[in-house]
Structure 1
Amino acid sequence: MSRASLEKSPHDVAAMFDRVARRYDVTNTVLSLSQDRQWRKAVADALQVHAGQTVLDLAAGTGTSSEPFTDAGVHTVPCDFSLGMLRVGRTRRPDMPFVAGDGTRLPFADASFDAVTISFGLRNVVDVDACLRELYRVTKPGGRVVVCEFSRPTWAPFRTVYTEYLMKALPKVATAVSSNPEAYVYLAESIRAWPDQPGLAAKLQDAGWNTVQWRNLSGGIVALHRGIK
């Protein structure tokens, strides 16, 4: 899968993440200049869950994104469709109840979770609208969704520099630290093809979510979108 579009083969995407699973977390920390830790904290703050509640962390990969919730005593279900990612996650965090699942057909009953979240995975789902509807379905009334995803930098000069980094520097850095640098060419292109902040907000609203808002992180490199059921 050498070129990115919003029409993706689920098998190809899963296979790509299987190949990068072993060094995925390390590579993300290097490529984000360690900002990924701050982004995860922002997700946990925005989701506003506490011990005794149940959270679905979709596209959880190796479970790194689930750790802030689990460590706070929140019952967290990490779910991903990459079996390679899940295998690595189960080795590192055997205390987490990892579940294999497709974001467009979640293997959970209606209203199962107090809150749901997905970080840096929504743009890799074959049908984004179906995934947002599924997240809505499995959330209890009054529950919250938080989507953390790469977005559009708000300052035009920086946006140009950022695009140059994505398409030129990122693959070179990935070559040095990743087990599958070609995957990061795809990931860079998928970021460029992704809707901006208002575009994603509209998708959440169309899926049924109310009171949709977003907050820019790192100058709009990343955006947190929130909604209520």
Structure 2
Amino acid sequence: MATADLNKQPAEVSAMFDEVAPRYDLTNDVLSMGAAPLWRLAVTRAIDPKPGERILDVAAGTGTSSAALAKSGAAVVAADFSQGMIEVGRRRHPEIEFVQADATALPFGDAEFDAATISFGLRNVERPREALAEMLRVLKPGGRLLVCEFSTPPSSLMRFGYGAYMKYAMPLVVGASSSNPQAYRYLAESIADWPDQPTLSQWIRGAGFTRVGYRNLTGGVVALHRGRRPVSG
């Protein structure tokens, strides 16, 4: 896959993630310069999982975020469309239920989950607004949505530094740590193509969520977006 735009081919993206699955978490930790665990902690705190709740982790990859949520005593379902990611996840986290699933056609009934989350995966979905609508559908009335995704730093200086890192430093880091540097070229381009915080907030509202808001992490390199399924309607 030579370039990334918002017209992604699911089979190509899935195959790419299959290939990078064994070293995916390690490479992400290196690329984030140690921030990935802090972002994961912020996601867990924002979702605020409770014992007995049922939580859906979409685009869960190898289940690293799912395992963090499950420590609360919640029942977590990790859904991903990459069989390679799921195979690695099942070996690492046998306590987590993994399901192969397309985010735009989730294999679950209506109003099954207390919370739904997707971390660094929405931009890899071919039709992200359909995925948001699907997460609304499977949430119980009043259910919580949390989207963690790369975003646009509001500071021009931060945008400049981040852009330089992505263009010059990231290829060197990926070449040393990843099993497929070309795949991370796609990921870098997908980040550059992704809309900013206000636009994603509009998409979430358009899907039917209320109480929509966001909070920047790491100067806006990453943003946490929240929403709720309306209690009625």
Could you tell me the TM-score, scaled by structure 2's length? 0.97
Task: Tell me if structure 2 keeps the 8 A contact 1:171–1:182.
Answer: no
The corresponding residue for 2:138 is 138
Distance 1:3 1:179 in 2: 18
Q: Amino acid of the residue matched to residue 55 of structure 1?
A: I
* Distance (whole Å) between structure 2 residues aligned to residue 166 and residue 209 of structure 1: 32
Tell me the CA shift for residue 168 of structure 1: 2.0
Q: CA deviation at 1:94?
A: 1.1
Separation in structure 2 between the aligned mates of residue 52 and residue 212 of structure 1, nearest angstrom: 25
Structure 2 residue runs of 5 or longer lacking an equivalent are: none
| Cα distance in structure 2, aligned partners of 1:140 and 1:82 | 26
Q: Which residue of 1 aligns with 2:207?
A: 207
Q: Deviations over 1:162-218 (max 9, x none)?
A: 011112211221010001111111100100100000000000000000010000000
Q: Distance in 1 between matches of 2:171 and 2:101?
A: 29
- Measure how far apart 1:2 and its partner are: 1.1
> Does 1:156 find its partner at 2:172?
no
Aligned partner of 2:24: which letter? Y
Taking the aligned partners of 1:167 and 1:132, their CA distance within structure 2 comes to: 30
Preserved CA contact (<8 Å) 1:171 1:181: yes
Contact preservation (8 Å) 2:67, 2:93: no
> Structure 1 regions of 5+ residues with no counterpart?
none
Kindly, what percent of the aligned residue pairs are identical? Answer: 54
Moved more, 65-74 or 5-14: 65-74
**Corresponding residue of 1:127:** 127
Give the aligned partner of residue 58 of structure 1: 58
Matched position secondary structure for 1:66: helix
Structure 1 consecutive aligned stretches of length 4 or more whose deviation exceeds 4 Å: none
Which residue does the alignment assign to 1:196? 196
- For 1:22, what is the secondary structure of its paired residue? helix
Alignment of 1:5-84 (within 5 A): 5-84=5-84
Cα distance between partner residues in 1 of 2:66 and 2:93: 10
Matched residue count: 229
Identify the residue that residue 166 of structure 1 maps to in structure 2.
166
Q: Deviations over 1:94-123 (max 9, x none)?
A: 111100000000000000100000000000
Contact 1:167 1:185 in 2 (8 A): no
1:93 aligned residue: 93
Counterpart code for 1:54: R
Secondary structure of the 1:148 match is: strand
- Corresponding letter in the other structure for 1:210: T
Deviation for aligned residue 1:82: 0.3
1:154 CA drift (Å): 1.6
1:228 pairs with 2:228: yes
Residue aligning to 2:147: 147
Aligned-partner Cα distance in 1 for 2:197–2:105: 25
CA distance in 2 between counterparts of 1:185 and 1:168 reads: 11
Question: Which residue matches 2:109?
Answer: 109
* Preserved CA contact (<8 Å) 1:167 1:189: no
